[in-house]
């Protein structure tokens, strides 16, 4: 059980809930548990570690964003005179 406890803390952020109300904290936990079970199932089927699964999720998200960015930064000319 220690193994799962560490995984749910490390990969699903169950302890990082910043909500103060009891209901919001309960909702956070209730969403983190199925997320961890899904991660665990994915790792079992693909025969990969939690770290490999997390890296592939982040890598795919970054790749998708770079292919079609939603937000862009506007350039600011610091030397322009008003």
The two structure tokens encoding residue 59: 């890598």
Q: What is the pLDDT of residue 76?
A: 66
Sign of dihedral through CA atoms 36, 9, 33, 62?
negative
Q: What is the pLDDT of residue 3?
A: 72
Per-residue pLDDT, averaged over 51-58, amounts to 90
Q: What is the pLDDT of residue 1?
A: 55
43 contacts 82 by C-beta, under 8 angstroms: no
- CA 44 to CA 79: how far, in whole Å? 56
Q: Please report, rounded to a whole number, the percentage of residues in the chain having pLDDT higher than 90.
A: 30
């Amino acid at each position: 059980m220690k193994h799962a406890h560490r995984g749910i803390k490390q990969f699903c952020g169950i302890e990082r809930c910043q909500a103060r109300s009891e209901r919001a904290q309960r909702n956070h936990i209730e969403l983190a548990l199925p997320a961890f079970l899904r991660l665990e199932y994915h790792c079992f089927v693909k025969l990969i570690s939690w770290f490999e699964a997390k890296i592939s999720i982040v890598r795919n998200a970054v790749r998708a964003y770079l292919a079609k960015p939603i937000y862009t930064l506007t350039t600011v000319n610091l030397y322009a005179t008003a």
